[in-house]
Chain A
């Protein structure tokens, strides 16, 4: 459709005119204008809702909201065209078969072996070995080898040595969805462990010998401790209500040597609504501070994030400080349980704070343990009540931790944002379906590509320059301040206002420091080379060789970071109510902008959009966490279609 306008959300005066395309996988808007062929690409899987608004004199507005929080406002001249686009998008964004998804047609031009290697990058068996299992207390069990015991669990589960197949099967019959207690994390220093399950089918008075034996087995696997914690991550009221439905929670009287604890995290429906309310705040046009703070509090979002974090902290403390094992569950053990176990693991084990380790963590606690990606993130058209931002919340917890501990993570904010992006994108096969069983049936690994391989290949973009493996902050357990600490939880504008360039400064501290780091390294290498040459020269009387200097590239690269300072920093509208103020044009010089375009080519990036984003925190946390918005152009796309480099000119 031609002559479509793409409106800028913050400044309704700025609208780009161009052509709208719909393909089998994307919505594409190509801006008119010879020099700056700015393209905005949006995957259908990313689209969460399409709103056709009332036709005005200027045309028919269409609002597209995305799961990665991009909001696109289009104005289509003809009502009939608008309607056609609307109907098509409705169909395109509600796939019914997996085969319709992008991952089955996406072609990064890798051969079969590379594809296989990509899938092998993360190996869970290796991970449990790293933890020290199997050992005297823990073993691997194949009781679920054909998914016969629990179809949402993996084929290989780790259980206490004293848990026989009989006990496991018996326990599984007493757990919701058959999700029996299994190992999530083992601490070899003190034998304490984190196990996870779903709620017991205890009702008001039912008991199950095997389930009680299972918990005992977990306790016995930690000889130094004479009890285990059982943590129910639901609010007490909800758990009690479940009893009426024949489910519920563990009775301390029936299970010997357990200490039971509720940690009230709300359910998926509350979280879905919370996000919705927060996004409404984000969509307000120039809200007052008051509107913003009230709206944010009303949504409850940060309160929920804190609840998840507090649960993780409790469990990490139990394991690290008390040396006591913990069994965690919620209702079905695939949402809150996953969040809380992975936060706890992150706090406990520095390995999970490395890039590779983080991928492993997600594979372990989310992918293998049957988190319902399809239902939660809407790969296919399904029940809207199943949709919930569960992984988004976990990813935000990680970001909040990064703000408090800027040196502790090997990866940066951009890494988290890209992962969140791909939870919804269906470009790779990792986050499809609802269980390992379903993925194997669909032969995902033979037919799609692994996100981890893609991210790993581009890992230079995802590094945190402040991370040093030998640094005190990166060692051992992280102990976030528990109270008072409300203020420590910040609104993540890099994620929820990701695409609003006016909101974020363009100076990326992370990118700058990475460039500095790289230059220092190159200089050090050069120093070494020169040192050797000097030694050689001193030995023999050879002529000076010209040392190939990478000076050019380095200073250009650094020059890039420097000139980021001089990036077109347009004043926002400070006086929207006083129209007769002479309008100010971005006076920061087009020369700088075009110079920027040239030097940007030097910086390779998996994400073509290099508009440096959120400068989040207090004058310090800024440093580690830079995001860059993917401006609709996906990291793995042909970088010729990169959209946002041209934005600098367009502004």
Chain B
């Protein structure tokens, strides 16, 4: 699986031999590859006007292009803000709750993200994933696909490694994307909850495969918190270059891996599952992440007690 930014084809259909050669070396003799473009065909074509574009069939004959539009940017942030608003709306009756939930579209985004990741993972061929910049929906897809495919990404350590590689080092601009979160009225242009969407998808996987992830919901919540506001330097800045703070801050991972802390984040049901975990993306199988969206609204007491009980059973107290 490869990821990149969009090819700078532009309105004059520029070619780049080096780029074509690079992609050609990826494929074996007679092999075909797939390009998963996370923009709609229309958006991808329009991008040519501003210097971007898609891989033309003639220049990349062995690559088949597929468009799987995933929401990003302002619309995704709106979706998030609307959802949080709906969750906090005490006046909402049961007769209107579901349609309100639907109008936020958040769950549709979860469904689309998981679907696309599965598609990328499903191919028994090489896959190149890109959107426009390669820093948002691209990373969502490649990171999710790895959780689905690779059991080592489902361990605590492996997951941390995945985040380092596919989000932090890959240059997801955390500083811009995770500025104010959902309550702020300031609709910042660059703000978008891609990372949260990723965490939500991982949570859906953990629900459908309760034995297969070494970590639990608490880790995902902690990562969410730290992406927006953190005492640690891990999610600071927008890129590796900016992130020279590494010398001046502490790492979140170091803190999380301390034995006392680590225990909180482990899933007591975890058993290494060597196989691929294919989620169901039917609406009945996806749920609103209560632990996040209702975190401050509903008591987690009874659910926490249940987890404590599971821990007790598994550890043979």
> How far does the Cβ of B268 sit from chain A's closest Cβ, in whole Å?
10
A46 at the interface (CB under 8 A from B): no
Contact between chains at A517 and B278 (CB < 8 Å): no
Chain A's closest residue to B121 (CB) is A571
A contact residues around B302 at 8 Å (CB): 404-408, 473
A552 at the interface (CB under 8 A from B): no
> How far does the Cβ of A471 sit from chain B's closest Cβ, in whole Å?
7
Given A582-B124, A618-B217, do A487 and B294 touch, yes or no (CB 8 Å)?
yes
Given A294-B98, A565-B211, A618-B207, do A481 and B306 touch, yes or no (CB 8 Å)?
no
A contact residues around B314 at 8 Å (CB): 513, 516
> Which chain B residues (146-162) contact chain A, with CB distance < 8 Å?
none
Given A289-B108, A582-B125, A618-B217, do A294 and B102 touch, yes or no (CB 8 Å)?
yes
Which of A503, A513, A517 interacts with B284 by CB under 8 Å?
A503
CA distance A407 to B311 in the complex (A): 13
Contact between chains at B275 and A572 (CB < 8 Å): no
Contact between chains at A491 and B284 (CB < 8 Å): yes
Chain B's closest residue to A620 (CB) is B303
> Which chain A residues (218-254) contact chain B, with CB distance < 8 Å?
none
Contact between chains at A503 and B285 (CB < 8 Å): yes
Number of interface residues of A (CB under 8 A): 77
> How far does the Cβ of A321 sit from chain B's closest Cβ, in whole Å?
18
CA distance A473 to B299 in the complex (A): 14
Contact between chains at A615 and B101 (CB < 8 Å): no
Interface flags for A599-625 (1: CB within 8 Å of B; 0: not) read 000000000000000010111111110
CA distance A287 to B124 in the complex (A): 27
Contact between chains at B119 and A484 (CB < 8 Å): no
B230 at the interface (CB under 8 A from A): no
B contact residues around A503 at 8 Å (CB): 280, 282, 284-285
B288 at the interface (CB under 8 A from A): yes
Contact between chains at B283 and A292 (CB < 8 Å): yes
B contact residues around A291 at 8 Å (CB): 283
Given A294-B102, A486-B92, A486-B94, do A619 and B313 touch, yes or no (CB 8 Å)?
no
Contact between chains at B111 and A302 (CB < 8 Å): no
Given A287-B283, A516-B313, A582-B125, do A471 and B298 touch, yes or no (CB 8 Å)?
no
CA distance A302 to B96 in the complex (A): 11
CA distance A581 to B121 in the complex (A): 12
> How far does the Cβ of B41 sit from chain A's closest Cβ, in whole Å?
13
Contact between chains at A466 and B92 (CB < 8 Å): no
A contact residues around B303 at 8 Å (CB): 406, 618, 620-621
A54 at the interface (CB under 8 A from B): no
A341 at the interface (CB under 8 A from B): no
- Say which one of A135-143, A207-215, A504-512, A534-542 lies at the interface with B: A504-512
A contact residues around B102 at 8 Å (CB): 289-290, 293-294, 297
Given A289-B102, A481-B298, do A571 and B278 touch, yes or no (CB 8 Å)?
yes
CA distance A243 to B163 in the complex (A): 67
B contact residues around A483 at 8 Å (CB): 90
> Which chain A residues (275-318) contact chain B, with CB distance < 8 Å?
282, 286-294, 296-297, 300, 302-303, 306
Contact between chains at A288 and B278 (CB < 8 Å): no
Contact between chains at B276 and A569 (CB < 8 Å): yes
Which of B93, B123, B294, B306 interacts with A620 by CB under 8 Å?
B306
Contact between chains at B288 and A507 (CB < 8 Å): no
Counting chain B residues whose Cβ lies within 8 A of the other chain, the interface size class is: 35 or more
Which of A288, A407, A488, A617 interacts with B298 by CB under 8 Å?
A488
Contact between chains at A572 and B280 (CB < 8 Å): yes
Interface flags for B94-107 (1: CB within 8 Å of A; 0: not) read 11111101100101
B87 at the interface (CB under 8 A from A): yes
CA distance A565 to B154 in the complex (A): 14
> Which chain B residues (267-317) contact chain A, with CB distance < 8 Å?
269, 271, 273-278, 280-291, 293-294, 297-299, 302-307, 309-310, 313-314, 316
A contact residues around B310 at 8 Å (CB): 466, 513, 623
B54 at the interface (CB under 8 A from A): no
B216 at the interface (CB under 8 A from A): yes
A578 at the interface (CB under 8 A from B): yes
B118 at the interface (CB under 8 A from A): yes
CA distance A375 to B99 in the complex (A): 34
> How far does the Cβ of A622 sit from chain B's closest Cβ, in whole Å?
5
Identify which of A404, A490, A512, A571 gathers the most chain B CB atoms within 10 Å of its CB. Answer: A571
B255 at the interface (CB under 8 A from A): no
B206 at the interface (CB under 8 A from A): yes
Contact between chains at A512 and B87 (CB < 8 Å): no
A110 at the interface (CB under 8 A from B): no
A385 at the interface (CB under 8 A from B): no
B contact residues around A624 at 8 Å (CB): 306
Contact between chains at A507 and B281 (CB < 8 Å): no
> Which chain A residues (552-597) contact chain B, with CB distance < 8 Å?
562, 564-566, 569-572, 574-575, 578, 581-582, 584, 587-589
B203 at the interface (CB under 8 A from A): yes
A472 at the interface (CB under 8 A from B): yes
A contact residues around B233 at 8 Å (CB): none
B43 at the interface (CB under 8 A from A): no
Instruction: In the A-B complex, list the 8 residue pairs whose CB atoms are closest, starting with the nearest.
Output: A292-B283, A297-B98, A571-B278, A406-B306, A293-B102, A486-B97, A493-B284, A620-B303
A-B contact pairs, 13 of them (CB 8 A): A294-B99, A302-B94, A303-B95, A505-B209, A520-B313, A572-B281, A575-B115, A581-B119, A615-B207, A618-B217, A619-B217, A619-B291, A620-B304
Interface residues of B (CB under 8 A from A): 66, 87, 89-90, 92-99, 101-102, 105, 107-108, 111, 115, 118-119, 122-125, 203, 206-212, 216-217, 269, 271, 273-278, 280-291, 293-294, 297-299, 302-307, 309-310, 313-314, 316
Interface residues of A (CB under 8 A from B): 282, 286-294, 296-297, 300, 302-303, 306, 404-408, 465-466, 468, 471-473, 481, 483-491, 493, 497, 502-505, 507, 509, 512-513, 516-517, 520, 523, 562, 564-566, 569-572, 574-575, 578, 581-582, 584, 587-589, 615, 617-624
